[in-house]
Structure 1
Amino acid sequence: MLVTLLIACATLVLATAAPTDVPAGRVVGGADAVDAQFPHQVSLRYKGSHTCGGSIISRNYILTAAHCVTAEDGETGELVVTPANQLSIRAGSLDRLSNGVVINVADVIVHENYGSFLNDLALLLLESPLIYSDRIAPIQIASTDTPAGADVVISGWGRLKTNGDLPRQLQWNVLSALSNLRCQTSTLMFSSSLICLGHERNNGACNGDSGGPAVYNNEIVGIAGFVMGGCGSNLPDGYAKVFYHRDWIIKNAKL
């Protein structure tokens, strides 16, 4: 089974706030977000170019995926963390190319047990604190486990289809949380650290949605990690489960 990380060389993320209507489209081709709908959403940028998504969890910290800020050393095979001075974030804009504010990253904290698609989360300490507004605001981290069957909102600037174009404006959609058992049997990853989101074919996340949030009940419950069988397949998408990692996030982000 093909499992693909959702990082891309010029695209972005999932995220969400509680919308009032379900979009007719999909993140793989999706419905445009509206102003201030996702104030926690940020674009993670590598050397000035948009690569992944992330979520504001405090004035000083962004939550994203570990694979967005790491790479494997070609000679040793060891995991190398991207230097903080090569990273920045754009907040407060639906446009992945302009507007909002751009702030440099001061430090990168990768989960110490990241590997094999599991524990795929990282924190970014910003050089200067965010100034909150209706377009820039934190999202609460998950306080309980997400019930199976719950509607979970995703958003992002990821590709509209496999090898497709990148949208300039943030897109969003609604997927469905799977039970822990179904998630484990679908992914063959027998860990409670994942949350899987099910969807109909031609829906879901795609390359560039890495690191972005999935939201339920106005809390971030997942961090976009991988797809199986290509974008928009009939297989679920995999996310790091925020509730499972709640203590780690609180400790390292000093919440």
Structure 2
Amino acid sequence: MAIVDSARIGHADTTVGLFGSRHAIRVSRFLPRVCCFHMHGGVSVNHLRRAFLAVLCGAVLVVGPQTPASAITGGTTTSSLHGQVQIWNNGGANFRCTGSLIHVHYVLTAAHCLHSSRLVVKAGDKRLGSGQRIIVDGTAAAPKGYDMAVLHLASNVTQSNLVVPYSRDTALLKTGVTVAIRGWGQTETNGPPASTLRVCSLRVERSIASELELEGLDGVPLDGDSGAAVWQNNRVQAVFTHSDDALGGLSVPTGFLAGWIKSVSGVDGID
């Protein structure tokens, strides 16, 4: 689902389940580009295919424990908005992604959410399809293929209290830190988007300047949660970019691209 440059994928291990058991295969990410595309590309792949690709690509395999996929509950509904807005395509006909309102005229989201026509934002309501409808009249994607984008709204969001800050701090979120993601993504794989805003907690498993790897604690973001804020310490810390149905997913820290965000929106982050 996300745009991922394999050259920027670190060498740390990731855990993938095999047949949904309590054992897993740890796959070294020191792989050729073609293998990285399959392991981290735009579509979710099942665990057996992951394991097969790992062997095919010459990965190092080590057996270790893992929480079974059945332990993922999909998070819970939430009554609070933390700057979340809905991003729709085809003039508002189809729900596409989640975004964060960083200014009454600007939304932060994932770049792959731009691969749609006639984008519309709906703001100010936790119910899917409800809220103030605003046309997107300008977009900017982050340089060098990083999966982050800024949307410009044709008119301002009237509920200015929905605006949230983003972090410009380049200090990395430490491994083990708990974060939250709120969105309207699917509540099950290949299912419809959620009818109301949902939230799940995740733990930072790996942290480098350009990427956070997250593992779900009480839920896992799915399609439709792309572009959602990785929320911690009352601010947007990263933009969620890639879902892994069984584990968690990947995100791009705002601190890494804070200069670019300010250059296209005029909105400065906070430390």
Which position in structure 1 is the counterpart of 2:177?
A: 150
Which position in structure 2 is the counterpart of 1:122?
A: 149
1:217 to 233, 245, 257: 233
Pairs within 5 Å for 1:71-220:
82=116, 86-98=118-130, 100-114=131-145, 119-134=146-161, 136-143=162-169, 144-180=171-207, 192-200=209-217, 203-220=219-236
Runs of 4+ in 1 over 2 A off after TM superposition: 1-7, 26-30, 131-134, 136-145, 178-181
The CA deviation string for residues 27-82 of structure 1, in whole angstroms up to 9 with x for no partner, is 96331111xx2240000010112110100011111001000103xxxxxxxxxxx5
The separation in 2 between residues aligned to 1:225 and 1:165, in whole angstroms, is: 19
- Deviation, 1:152, is 0.3
Structure index of larger Rg: 2
Change (3 A) 1:39 1:152: closer
Please give the TM-score of this superposition, normalised by the length of structure 1: 0.72
- Deviation, 1:133, is 4.8
Change (3 A) 1:112 1:142: closer
C-alpha contact 1:5 1:225 (8 A) present in aligned 2: no
Pairs within 5 Å for 1:40-79:
40-47=83-90, 48=92, 49-70=94-115
The separation in 2 between residues aligned to 1:251 and 1:156, in whole angstroms, is: 27
The CA deviation string for residues 128-169 of structure 1, in whole angstroms up to 9 with x for no partner, is 1222355x2333334343222111011111111212342201
Change (3 A) 1:50 1:216: same
The sequence identity of aligned pairs, in percent, is 25
- Deviation, 1:244, is 0.8
C-alpha contact 2:101 2:164 (8 A) present in aligned 1: yes
Which position in structure 2 is the counterpart of 1:3?
A: 40
- Deviation, 1:3, is 3.0
C-alpha contact 1:88 1:102 (8 A) present in aligned 2: yes
The separation in 1 between residues aligned to 2:184 and 2:226, in whole angstroms, is: 10
Residue ranges of structure 1 left out of the alignment (5+ in a row): 8-25, 71-81, 182-191
**Aligned CA-pair RMSD:** 2.3
C-alpha contact 2:85 2:124 (8 A) present in aligned 1: yes
Residue ranges of structure 2 left out of the alignment (5+ in a row): 1-37, 45-70
Which position in structure 1 is the counterpart of 2:53?
A: none
Counterpart residue type for residue 202 of structure 2: L
The separation in 2 between residues aligned to 1:38 and 1:178, in whole angstroms, is: 26
Which position in structure 2 is the counterpart of 1:246?
A: 258
- Deviation, 1:109, is 0.6
The separation in 2 between residues aligned to 1:142 and 1:38, in whole angstroms, is: 22
